[in-house]
Structure 1
């Protein structure tokens, strides 16, 4: 072939115009190519941060049975450990969001990852239940902020037509971190005595320190967002999410997040204990059941990511809210000797309860203008965590009389709340982030104060 034969003889994968371009851009990972060099680095930082966020969260539910035995706790008090993490995460999420709107997304990401790593490790040194409760609460500060900051960072790099799947793939990091936590849990509890194993599990929470080094050296804010944040007065960013039409948005988005996360964290907190206590599974058995659920979760995140751009944000969240409620009710009512059925149902349960989150990153980012995007996303997502945190504690107390399996059905109420909230929220699929409704009014309001 002549070396000077021209662009018509380029390999099909490098053709950049005509029908071939449309095929290339419609590929499974077109969204990733569109991010560009800096966007892909931001994606890697946010993906790693959220995956390790998940890992540091799950070391508690996985070690919950051992912790309860070690400190002689009832189910209500063990559930309180999960609840306090989620309650404080609301504060952490709001603070991190405001911090991101003032000093940039990357600096806020470094702060959140550092905080949750330090206090996860500190939990391993707790001499009593009260100290563990305090350390777990402080861990919630970083845990609450990481997702909101990372999601905003990547959303501002993503194209409008691929933003749903880009942010949905960020959500899939949660399943990766969850899988890593289950793997480490299985190894640690197999090799180390239970009284010490839960402490070792917390010590492994130091892993995110490596990610901080990468983010500080390689990741930067999206240029358009960075310019906007430098030239805008953000002294009233928190109050801004309660002004004008953003007030309705904030209240409904917070309710939606409450319902979804109340359902999710109920299941995340109590399923390991349900499998070990009521189904009588050993550590390896619990790990095996959770692997099926995790495979379903990863599949759900990825599927939900693409449906977010295909069906829209509201339809995708509503669809999986209904399916999640159905799966919870079925899973929690499987007879005690039907382990095979429970194993199989773990896949659709993990799939649906995870796919619902794939639209969250894009949906919440698209509901708020740049000036308050971090604040709005951080506040609504983590307020949902905080109020939804009541669910695991309620289930803990109900389980004393209903059993953990019977009480798990309470999670379905959360998914019903999410459906109600969606009725009042707009569809945002394909919206330009610089043209989010309410942006001009927010800027005029800030300029007059």
Structure 2
């Protein structure tokens, strides 16, 4: 008789030596299919039902995670929006400017893993405060950088906080959310990225329209210090979920393994790389293929997020004001995509939602970069579906990664998988930057579409977790 963990972490087809009966094969097919969507309670079918389910403390945690992630997004986009001005000020090639993004994302992998361990050790809310302060302080420092080398160093340090905030905030909210609504709840948190992106685009349009570019990019970065004020709210209102406070140590009987207490940082990291054994599949496969999935999704996303502003300004010849207008369609689509994807991940399942939007995102990238040069109106309108697809794929990440790991190492596992994928995916924006010198930004952007195929491939070795309670 198979155990739940056999069903979730069984070997790929074709590795056995026996020939199962037709009844056994039918049973195996039923076990690998996503579980049916949980029945909706009529009292919680309204769009705000998931918010009511969180309770007062959960809503405060949601506000803290939402605000922290929106400001995280704002600080991230100060670079892509200022990239053309930076290149001119420091005399950089496209490859050198792309390298700044790569360094940020590589360091975010380290920051994400460290913040995850910190969240398991000192609590989600405290770790959230640390990450917000880190990205705020070093974004300000970027605005004061006297040289390209100093800018690289400050942006790398900014990446530590940038990488840690999402994973910590997502785990914090996931532990308040019910299994029925976890996908849409975390999708709503994810939509904060579009809010921060939109705010950055508005500030960029105003600052660069009023000031000379040599000063405007510095002002843009300096506004990134504002998130430090948000820490006051976090310290006063946000607390960890009761289940987290009541169970700092956990034994996972289903896996047959004992996980480390949150205070054991090195043991927590080691636990997510535990190989399988008889009756105990461990977490190694989940971690490796989770990183591969994250690499594909984020490689494609950050390629677009980094280079679309430069594509609009350099390849399409748009002014600062017009670039902001075109980005408005992209950002609006992103916001709608986050919310829609959050609901679909509860309806279709985590894996199907990611696979669907990976395919659609790749198609949208190719279409967006092959619009004729005289069809800028079509380019503007196509920004909405592009933003929608490339964002909807992220909506299930928060719930999916939280469900793959037990409580004692949930912050570590989610933080590592998400940010290691971001760090490895950093290769794509840099590669596009170097290719842009010969292919043009638009031609090089197509390469980003290939990243989404990696994400789809990884899903074949990951379990479906829709409807599962957090362990």
Identify which of 362, 365, 370 aligns with 1:333. 370
Identify which of 335, 338, 343 aligns with 1:298. 335
Query: How far apart, in 1, do the equivalents of 2:440 and 2:427 lie?
Result: 18
| Structure 2 equivalent of residue 407 of structure 1 | 444
Q: Conserved in 2, the CA contact under 8 Å of 1:257 and 1:384?
A: yes
Query: How far apart, in 2, do the equivalents of 1:89 and 1:209 lie?
Result: 19
Cα deviation, 1:326-352, whole Å, max 9, x if unaligned, reads 000111111212111111110100000
> Mapping of 1:250-269 within 5 angstroms?
250-269=287-306
Q: Conserved in 2, the CA contact under 8 Å of 1:259 and 1:416?
A: yes
Identify which of 31, 38, 46 aligns with 1:27. 46
Q: Conserved in 1, the CA contact under 8 Å of 2:357 and 2:393?
A: yes
Cα deviation, 1:32-88, whole Å, max 9, x if unaligned, reads 000000000000000000000000000000000000000000000000111100000
Identify which of 413, 416, 435 aligns with 1:376. 413
Does residue 129 (structure 1) correspond to residue 143 (structure 2)? The answer is no
Post-superposition offset of 1:22? 3.3
> Mapping of 1:261-280 within 5 angstroms?
261-280=298-317
> Mapping of 1:33-432 within 5 angstroms?
33-229=52-248, 233-234=261-262, 235=264, 236-243=267-274, 244=276, 245-432=282-469
Query: How far apart, in 2, do the equivalents of 1:351 and 1:408 lie?
Result: 18
Q: Conserved in 2, the CA contact under 8 Å of 1:325 and 1:415?
A: yes
> Mapping of 1:2-13 within 5 angstroms?
none
Query: How far apart, in 1, do the equivalents of 2:456 and 2:41 lie?
Result: 36
Cα deviation, 1:124-158, whole Å, max 9, x if unaligned, reads 00000000000000000000000000000000000
Query: How far apart, in 2, do the equivalents of 1:152 and 1:22 lie?
Result: 25
Structure 2, gaps ≥5 residues long? 1-39, 251-259, 277-281
Query: How far apart, in 2, do the equivalents of 1:233 and 1:358 lie?
Result: 29
Cα deviation, 1:75-130, whole Å, max 9, x if unaligned, reads 00000111100000000000000000001000100000000000000000000000
User: The residue matched to 2:393 in structure 1 has which SS?
Assistant: helix
Query: How far apart, in 2, do the equivalents of 1:241 and 1:200 lie?
Result: 42
TM-score (norm 2): 0.87
Q: Compute the RMSD of aligned alpha carbons.
A: 1.0
Cα deviation, 1:171-191, whole Å, max 9, x if unaligned, reads 000000000000000000011
| Structure 2 equivalent of residue 6 of structure 1 | none
Count of aligned pairs:
414
User: The residue matched to 2:247 in structure 1 has which SS?
Assistant: helix
Query: How far apart, in 1, do the equivalents of 2:55 and 2:454 lie?
Result: 38
Q: Conserved in 2, the CA contact under 8 Å of 1:51 and 1:175?
A: yes
Give the 4+ runs in structure 1 shifted more than 4 A.
none
Q: Conserved in 2, the CA contact under 8 Å of 1:153 and 1:221?
A: yes
Q: Conserved in 2, the CA contact under 8 Å of 1:52 and 1:208?
A: yes
Query: How far apart, in 1, do the equivalents of 2:41 and 2:402 lie?
Result: 27
Closer, same or farther in 2 for the Cα pair 1:230/1:218, shift >3 Å? farther
Q: Conserved in 2, the CA contact under 8 Å of 1:104 and 1:229?
A: no
Q: Conserved in 1, the CA contact under 8 Å of 2:249 and 2:408?
A: no
User: The residue matched to 1:357 in structure 2 has which SS?
Assistant: coil
Post-superposition offset of 1:24? 2.1
Structure 1, gaps ≥5 residues long? 1-20, 435-449
TM-score (norm 1): 0.91
Q: Conserved in 2, the CA contact under 8 Å of 1:304 and 1:356?
A: yes
Cα deviation, 1:399-433, whole Å, max 9, x if unaligned, reads 11111000000111110000000111111001111
User: The residue matched to 2:466 in structure 1 has which SS?
Assistant: coil
Cα deviation, 1:212-268, whole Å, max 9, x if unaligned, reads 110001110001112212676231111000013310000000000000000000000
Q: Conserved in 2, the CA contact under 8 Å of 1:262 and 1:390?
A: yes
Query: How far apart, in 2, do the equivalents of 1:156 and 1:49 lie?
Result: 17
Query: How far apart, in 2, do the equivalents of 1:335 and 1:399 lie?
Result: 18
